[in-house]
Amino acid sequence: MTALLGDYTLQNVMLGAALIGVISGVLGSFAVLRRESLLGDTLSHAALPGICLGFIVTGVRDMGSLLAGALFTAVVAALLMVGLTRRTRLKTDAGLAIMLSLGFALGVVLLTWIQNRGGAAQAGLDSFLFGQAAATTRADLLPMALLTAVALSGVVMLWKPLKLMSFDPEFAAVMGLPVRRIERLLTAMIALAVVVGLQMVGVVLMTAMIIAPGAAARQWAGSLLGMVLLAAGFGATAGISGGLISTLGPGLATGPVVVLVATALALVSLLIAPRRGLLPAWWRRRRRRSHTSTEQILQTVYELAREHGDWRYRVEQGAVDAYHGMITEPQLATLADRGLLISTEHMPDEGPHWRLTEKGQGHAAEQAKRRNERRRWRVRA
Amino acid sequence: MSDLRADIHTPHEPELALHIEDLTVSYGDRPALWDIDLNIPPGVLAGVVGPNGAGKSTLLKAILGLVPRSAGHVRLFGHPYKSQRKRVGYVPQRSSVDWDFPTTAVDVVTMGLYGQLGWWRWPGRRERDRALRALEEVGMEALADRQISELSGGQQQRVFIARALVQKPDLLLLDEPMAGVDATTERSIIDILSRLRSEGRTIVVVHHDLQTVQRYFDWLVFLNVRVIAAGEMAAVYSARNLRRTYGGQIALLDENGAAAPDAPGER
Amino acid sequence: MSGLANPTIAILLTGMLVGMAGALLGSFLVLRGNSMLADAISHSILFGIALAWLATGETSGAVQIAGAALSGVLAVFLIETLARSRRLRDDAAIGLVFPALFSIGVVLINVFARDVHLDEHTVLLGEIGFVWLDTVTVAGLVVPRALLASATLLLVDALFVLAFYNALKLATFDPGLARALGLAPGLVFYAHLSLLSGTAVAAFDAVGVVLFVTFVVVPPAAAYLLCRRLSSLIAVAMLIAVASAPLGYGAALWLDVSVGGAMALATAPFLVGAFSWRRWRERRRYRAAQPPAVSASSSA
């Protein structure tokens, strides 16, 4: 294992993947919060023609110029998208899809143009489609690190306005913030994140790296700072482990593996995060169910009957469920077993009903009286 | 099972235009509507008022089967909504659709007939004529071939009402038709509704402006998750009912064990 | 060699048919505000294609189209389920689901199908330039397989839209009313999206799925800027798609680039044209609405 970690290519892969994870996690958090998750998808597809342009202009596969080209076309596509939706009736989703597909089409055309002139083989430009980690050299890492540093310092400098705008853009505008200019800067920074990831994750899947770490962190964090830091951590974890797996497994493209790890992190977070997770929520509901006693349910039936002025009133099970916010059938069945309730029906388009038996009516009335006395004592004390 | 199925066809409270019993609708953990009992006789123009989040729109949607019921039943002229579809017109909130949709006013009104046309039949000459007549009823016939995005807010609202009218509904449900329209349009909408009432139709309007409630409607429903009061305007419009409706949190069940005492000195 | 197997005719016809089918279904998608679902579905079908290949060992055919269509529907179902859990907004749900399904598809191909003619590049980019090589014989006629598939899908799509036009239109404009009138908008939505996935599969041989997205989104968007009626929007969108095919093909031959990419890119001038026409008309109407005194003083 140590020999493996000493491997030069592997070091490059892990360093690069960590960079990608951090930058896309940080900027993706803002994209997710601002409901602009799919902007990353458009930016990454629209970066493809830029990569080709970078190659055509310089004639060599120099990472710096490729990424500069990618950044250029991605930002141009984003600006065109905003212009198109502001000046016409077209909605944001259409604007995103238009620039995504046309940008990618242009990229494919340029890619084949280069290929058919015998340049792409050594350029290896089509590895940008799905990313090829192993192709990363130490020289490639420098521009990636540089772009990451630029984007991260941008986030630090713009922290307060970004926070305000993610939470309440209208309020930010009222406060006198230059909202549009900051929005454009944020878009440019997300484009930076996308561009950094192109080499390893590829244009097709980079969108998942923007979304998944932020979506995962959202489930755990209670504050924006916590969310951004966590997202950076999740992103780095996904990048490094995905990079490792794809290098070790023969013939596995890096992008898909990194994306699957990131998605798995997001899904696990959705399931188990303490406050927002689905499993804890389910567990809390279960606990509430076991803490809601059959006596309380009987009281609900009793009160509903009393409200309708008839102790034989048939209470629909769905109403008791809605009142307690849970499934109450087990308790209702227990009460029926004890002879306090009786199962019945009402209208044909309604669910099962229950009504008090004479014994149940007496029992519930007794309980209600005791409860009221207890309450009165508490008030006196 | 077969006797139950037969049961749904026997009318239940057929003399009422709208009969709601024990209706509860729940979104997630908390009921949006709780234990609603509501009867509206035919031929009235009824207003539904209540604070934000009182479940006013939900009530209309529950009547139309657009949201699932947790409990209770709804009958229109004695029957469930499914069999009464053709007798009911619905005017949703204007903001619920995209007014940039490439279509004309008369075309939107024709859509009201799609339910009667069914899955396969196409609208023809006859449907277009009916749509034009409905537009005439709301004073919009001159703008029939306008694209809907070129209409003003009030004109769009009248197109929406015409779309419901084209079905010749016996019961008309409107969700905040006066929201965001100018005073002239508001007056003409209420004129249209009053005329429909005098033709014997029943109209239920979710309304937000307490200033005009007494002038516009002859029947009133105070709603805040529960029905606070409902009945003829003169009988239910009171300071006390207003306060109880708009006065904050409503308890679902009176757990004190005693009915809320009438405050002395009222009325 | 029959006329349909002639390379130029086969390529042009396939491009036109795929474009028409995409624009037809895409019109409703764009109007409903779900354009990015086209992207999501077209990526997700790789999962279905890979699974269908594992099961049958074939990369094209009815089973593949059905399987891939199902995976497109699966993607939509997963997106809706995630969004309904209220832990994620629907844009994030879209962006989480389709890359994952696409990635699983790529990994399956990487692991099991390395030597087979099935790789993510083809699915993504397609190669319409070679459609005439893979032919089948139908009723004594030699027909390229991709041409046959796209013609069939276009026919099915057109029949679906014609049969359910009213329901589709109302479900797109006002799903609430559609439901109140008993026209099951949810069912219509899923039927529409499964046809879209099926059509994307048929298209992947020819233009590749991402370029298919162009046909689904750009012609309807351009037509949206020009038309006042849904029926004319659909007609104009399909015309734009049809015109883009020869335009792109000519450009591709001239510049020696990807035919599918050029066909997709050829939709762009129509969008730019529609945009400019719209702006020009708005400006003219604005100027006409100005009182003459103002324009006189401003020009003076």
Any idea what the Cα angle at residue A177 is, between residues A172 and A182, rounded to 5°? 95
Tens digits of residue pLDDT in B119-157: 888 888 999 999 999 999 999 999 999 999 989 999 999
Give the C-alpha separation, C92 to C79, whole Å: 9
Do A41 and C125 count as a contact with CB atoms less than 8 A apart?
no
pLDDT at residue B266 is higher than 50: no
| Segment (H or E) for B25 | strand B18-27
- C176 and chain B in contact, CB less than 8 A: yes
Looking at the DSSP assignment, which residues form a beta bridge with residue B46?
B204, B219
Looking at residue C142, the DSSP 8-state letter turns out to be E
- C232 and chain B in contact, CB less than 8 A: yes
Do C229 and B90 count as a contact with CB atoms less than 8 A apart?
no
pLDDT at residue B188 is higher than 60: yes
Confidence (pTM): 0.86
Alpha-carbon dihedral sign for residues B145, B148, B154, B160:
positive
C8 phi, psi to nearest 5 deg: -60, -45
Asked if residues A252 and C110 have their Cβ atoms less than 8 Å apart, the reply is yes
Asked if residues C213 and A41 have their Cβ atoms less than 8 Å apart, the reply is no
The residue assigned the tokens 């796209």 is: C150
Give the C-alpha separation, C216 to C210, whole Å: 10
Under 8 Å CB-to-CB from C115, ≥6 apart: which residues?
none
Residue C200 token pair:
């994307």
Residue B255, domain member (yes or no): no
Alpha-carbon dihedral sign for residues C253, C259, C262, C263:
positive
Q: How many CB atoms lie within 10 A of CB B10?
A: 10
Asked if residues C171 and C185 have their Cβ atoms less than 8 Å apart, the reply is yes
C230 contacts in chain B (CB < 8 Å): 101-103
Give the C-alpha separation, B26 to B49, whole Å: 20
> Looking at CA atoms only, how far is residue B102 from chain C in angstroms?
5
- A323 and chain B in contact, CB less than 8 A: yes
Picking from B28, B70, B100, the nearest residue to A318 by CB comes out as B70
Looking at residue A35, the DSSP 8-state letter turns out to be T
Tens digits of residue pLDDT in C128-157: 666 666 777 777 777 787 888 889 899 999
Q: Best mutation site among B96, B98, B101 for testing chain C: the one with the most C CBs within 10 Å?
A: B101
**Residue of chain C with shortest Cα separation from A112:** C257
Neighbours of chain C (3+ CB pairs under 8 A): A, B
Do C173 and B103 count as a contact with CB atoms less than 8 A apart?
yes
Give the C-alpha separation, B74 to B8, whole Å: 12
pLDDT confidence of residue B120: 80
Tens digits of residue pLDDT in A100-141: 999 999 998 998 888 887 755 556 777 787 777 777 778 888
pLDDT confidence of residue C84: 86
Residue B97, domain member (yes or no): yes
Give the C-alpha separation, B127 to C225, whole Å: 28
Tens digits of residue pLDDT in A139-168: 888 888 998 999 999 999 999 889 888 888
Query: Mind spelling out the 3-state secondary structure of A266-322?
Result: HHHHHHHCCCCCHHHHHHHHHHHHHHCCHHHHHHHHHHHHHHCCCCCCCEEHHHHHH
Residue B262, domain member (yes or no): no
Do A276 and C271 count as a contact with CB atoms less than 8 A apart?
no
Picking from A303, A319, A325, the nearest residue to B29 by CB comes out as A325
B61 contacts in chain C (CB < 8 Å): 176
Q: What is the mean pLDDT of chain A?
A: 86
Give C55-59 contacts, CB < 8 A, sequence gap 24+.
C59/C116, C59/C117, C59/C118
Q: Which residues of C233-265 are buried (b: 16+ CB within 10 A; e: fewer)?
A: bbbbbbbbbbbbbbbbbebbeeeebbbbbbbbb
User: Rounded to the nearest 10 degrees, what angle do helices A138-157 and A8-33 cross at?
Assistant: 30
Residue B213, domain member (yes or no): yes
C39 contacts in chain A (CB < 8 Å): 41, 97, 100-101
Residue B234, domain member (yes or no): yes
Q: Could you tell me the CATH number of the domain that includes residue B189?
A: 3.40.50.300
- C228 and chain B in contact, CB less than 8 A: yes
CA distances, B170 to each of A75, B24, B104 (Å) = 57, 25, 26
CA distances, A153 to each of A146, A188, A231 (Å) = 11, 13, 17
Per-residue confidence band for C296, with pLDDT thresholds at 50, 70 and 90:
very low
pLDDT at residue A61 is higher than 80: no
The bridge status of strand A315-316 relative to strand A353-356 is: antiparallel
Residue A125 token pair:
């430009």
- C181 and chain B in contact, CB less than 8 A: yes
Q: Sort residue A91 into left (φ over 0), alpha (ψ -120 to 50) or beta.
A: beta
Query: Mind spelling out the 3-state secondary structure of A235-281?
Result: HHHHHHHHHHHHHHCCCCCHHHHHHHHHHHHHHHHHHHCCCCCHHHH
Closest C-alpha among B210, B205, B156 to residue B185: B156
Give the C-alpha separation, B10 to B8, whole Å: 6
Q: What is the mean pLDDT of residues B77-91?
A: 90
The bridge status of strand B202-206 relative to strand B171-175 is: parallel
Asked if residues B98 and B156 have their Cβ atoms less than 8 Å apart, the reply is no
CA distances, C273 to each of A52, C214, C286 (Å) = 26, 16, 20
Which structural domains are found in chain A, ordered by start?
2-279 (1.10.3470.10), 292-380 (1.10.10.10)
Do A322 and B257 count as a contact with CB atoms less than 8 A apart?
no
Tens digits of residue pLDDT in A327-373: 888 889 999 999 999 888 888 888 899 999 999 999 998 888 888 88
Residues of chain C numbered 7-36 and touching chain A (CB < 8 Å) = 30, 33-36
A104 contacts in chain C (CB < 8 Å): 210-211, 214
> Higher model confidence: residue C268 or residue A197?
C268
Do B114 and C166 count as a contact with CB atoms less than 8 A apart?
yes
- B149 and chain A in contact, CB less than 8 A: yes
Looking at residue A119, the DSSP 8-state letter turns out to be -
pLDDT confidence of residue C300: 33
> Looking at CA atoms only, how far is residue A138 from chain C in angstroms?
27
**What amino acid is encoded at C255 in this protein?**
L
Under 8 Å CB-to-CB from A215, ≥6 apart: which residues?
A32, A37, A266, A269, A270, C88, C92, C96
> Higher model confidence: residue B248 or residue A267?
A267
Q: What is the mean pLDDT of residues B148-173?
A: 93
Closest C-alpha among B17, B14, B9, B10 to residue B170: B17
The residue assigned the tokens 């995976």 is: C71
The range of the structural domain enclosing residue B92 comes to: 2-246
> Looking at CA atoms only, how far is residue C222 from chain A in angstroms?
9
Our CA dihedral for C193, C199, C205, C211, rounded to 10 degrees, sits at: -60
Residue B209, domain member (yes or no): yes
C-alpha radius of gyration, chain B, whole number: 19
Do C176 and B92 count as a contact with CB atoms less than 8 A apart?
yes
Give the C-alpha separation, C241 to C14, whole Å: 12
The residue assigned the tokens 């400019």 is: C276
Do C92 and A32 count as a contact with CB atoms less than 8 A apart?
yes
- B100 and chain A in contact, CB less than 8 A: yes
Tens digits of residue pLDDT in C8-34: 888 899 899 999 999 999 999 999 999
Per-residue confidence band for B259, with pLDDT thresholds at 50, 70 and 90:
very low
Q: How far is CA C107 from the centre of its chain?
A: 25
Asked if residues C233 and C168 have their Cβ atoms less than 8 Å apart, the reply is no
Picking from C165, C182, C227, the nearest residue to B115 by CB comes out as C182
- C85 and chain B in contact, CB less than 8 A: no
- C94 and chain A in contact, CB less than 8 A: yes
Do B98 and C31 count as a contact with CB atoms less than 8 A apart?
yes
Give the C-alpha separation, A379 to A376, whole Å: 5
Do B92 and C233 count as a contact with CB atoms less than 8 A apart?
no
> Looking at CA atoms only, how far is residue C100 from chain A in angstroms?
6
If you average pLDDT over each of B4-8, B232-236, C219-223, which comes out highest?
C219-223
Residues of chain B numbered 14-33 and touching chain A (CB < 8 Å) = 21-22, 24-26, 28-31
What is the secondary structure of B37-85 as a DSSP string? EEEE-TT-EEEEE--TTSSHHHHHHHHTTSS--SEEEEEETTB-HHHHG
pLDDT at residue A248 is higher than 70: yes
Picking from B69, B73, B253, the nearest residue to A300 by CB comes out as B253
Residue B118, domain member (yes or no): yes
Tens digits of residue pLDDT in C45-101: 888 888 888 887 776 667 777 888 889 889 999 999 998 888 888 889 999 999 999
% of chain A exceeding 70 in pLDDT: 95
C34 contacts in chain A (CB < 8 Å): 93
Per-residue confidence band for C6, with pLDDT thresholds at 50, 70 and 90:
confident
- A295 and chain B in contact, CB less than 8 A: no
pLDDT confidence of residue C182: 86
Per-residue confidence band for B181, with pLDDT thresholds at 50, 70 and 90:
confident
Tens digits of residue pLDDT in A250-268: 777 788 888 999 999 999 9
Picking from A93, A255, A259, the nearest residue to C36 by CB comes out as A93
Picking from A89, A319, A345, the nearest residue to B100 by CB comes out as A89
Give the C-alpha separation, C22 to C215, whole Å: 5
Closest C-alpha among C232, C200, C202 to residue C217: C200
pLDDT confidence of residue B205: 96
> Looking at CA atoms only, how far is residue C265 from chain B in angstroms?
25
A89 contacts in chain B (CB < 8 Å): 100, 149
What is the tally of structural domains in chain B?
1
